[in-house]
Chain A
Amino acid sequence: MHEYSLVRAMVDRVEQEARARNATAISRLAVCIGAMSGVEPELFASAFTLCQEGILAGARLDIRRSEAVWACPRCAAAVPAGGVLRCSACDSPARMVSGDEILLERIEMEVP
C-alpha cells in the first residue's frame, strides 16, 4: 500500500507551507487523483486520517478524481479509453491528456 507513503509526502509538504506562513491550523486540503494514477482515493483518505495530528487535526480532505482521457497528438481526436490506443483517423499512438495526476492542488490554512 503506497497510499500511506504518498500521504506522508503530502503532509511533509503541507507542514512546510504552514511553517512558512506561521499557520495555526490547516482547514482544508484539495488533491486531485487520476483514475490511471495507481492511487486509490479511499485508501488515500483513510491513510490521511492516520496522519491527522497537530496542525492537521481538524483538516478536511477533498479529493477530486480525474478520468483517463486519451487523444491523438497529431489530429487531437479523442481516443476512447479501454480500446486500442491508436487514433482511428490517422493511426498515431494516443497520448494521455489527463488521468495520471497525483496532485496537491490547494491548502487552506488559518493564520494569526
Chain B
Amino acid sequence: MCDTCGCGDPSKVSVEVHDRILSANDRTAAHNREHLVEGGVFAVNLMGSPGAGKTAVLEATARALAGKGRIGAIAGDLETERDADRLRAVGVPATAITTGSACHLDAEMVHRSLHDFPWRDLDYLFVENVGNLVCPAIYDLGQAVNVVALSVTEGEDKPLKYPVMFRKADLVLLTKVDLLPHLDYRVDLVLDALSRVMPQPSVLRVSARTGEGIPGWLSWLDGRRAAQAQGVPAHPHHHS
C-alpha cells in the first residue's frame, strides 16, 4: 500500500532500506578484519597516487624490518605484476591483484587473494592499493589502518583536492623528502592543507632512498600493532 504520496494504491509498495550501498563490501571487509586480527596480523591499506612511492616505501620497510618482523604484501595494479615482483626481490612474500580496468581494490578481491597466500605467518600485511587518490578511499578492505603516501613532488594542495582520501587516512607518509632541497615545496603548506581535511593530522616525513624517517614509521606501525593486540580499535572510522 502506497503511503509515500498518500495515493493509497495497493499495488505500490515503498520499502525503507536506509542501508549503505556498499554494505555487502562492508560485510566482507569485516570478515577479513576478523580473521586478520584473530591471526595477529596487522593490515595496512596503503594508498596514494601513481608514483607517490608506495612500493619504494614497502621496499625500505622490508629492508629495515629484516629479521625483526615478518611482512607480506598484496599489490593491486591495473596491469602487470611489477610491484609484486619488486617486493619479492627484497624478500617480501607478495601476491598481485590485477584489476583490469577497476580503479580500486574491494574487500572481495582481498578476500580471494588471501585464500592462496600464507598470511597467517605474518606480523604485517600491506595491501598496496591501485595508484589513485579517489576510488580506493571508499572501499573498506578489512585493514587496521589506512596510510596514504603523498610525495613532495606532487604539490602541497593535494589534500584539499582529494579530501575524501585524506580524511580516511590514519597516517600520511610524506615521501621522497630527500628531494626537498631541490624543490620549492613548502612543508608548512601541506600540513595546513591536511589540518583542513583530517581532524587529527598525523604525518611522517620519509625517504625510501636515504632511509630518513623509516625508523619513525616502523615505531608508528609497532605502536599501532601493539594496540591491536591489546584490543584497542585502531580503525576509528564509523561507516554510516
Q: Which residues of A contact B (CB under 8 A)?
A: 1-2, 5-6, 9-10, 12-13, 17, 21, 23, 27, 31, 36-39, 70, 82-86, 93-96, 98, 100-112
> Provided the pairs A2-B138, A101-B240, A104-B21 are in contact, do residues A21 and B15 lie with their beta carbons within 8 angstroms?
yes
Of A17, A21, A38, the contact of B17 (CB 8 Å cutoff) = A17
Q: Which residues of B contact A (CB under 8 A)?
A: 2, 4, 11-25, 102-104, 106, 134-135, 137-139, 163-165, 167, 192, 195-200, 240
**Contact residues of B: prevailing secondary structure:** mixed
> Provided the pairs A2-B103, A9-B24, A37-B138 are in contact, do residues A105 and B18 lie with their beta carbons within 8 angstroms?
yes
Distance between Cα atoms of A101 and B240 in the complex (Å): 6
Report the number of A-B residue pairs with Cβ-Cβ less than 8 Å: 109
Q: Is the CB of B138 within 8 A of A21?
A: no
> Provided the pairs A1-B103, A13-B19 are in contact, do residues A94 and B11 lie with their beta carbons within 8 angstroms?
no
Q: Could you say which residues of chain B place their CB within 8 Å of the CB of A105?
A: 16-18
Chain B residue with Cβ nearest A70: B199
Q: Is the CB of B104 within 8 A of A108?
A: no
Q: Is the CB of A2 within 8 A of B199?
A: no
Q: Could you say which residues of chain A place their CB within 8 Å of the CB of B106?
A: 5
Q: Is the CB of A84 within 8 A of B195?
A: yes
Q: Is the CB of A103 within 8 A of B163?
A: no
Q: Could you say which residues of chain B place their CB within 8 Å of the CB of A21?
A: 13, 15
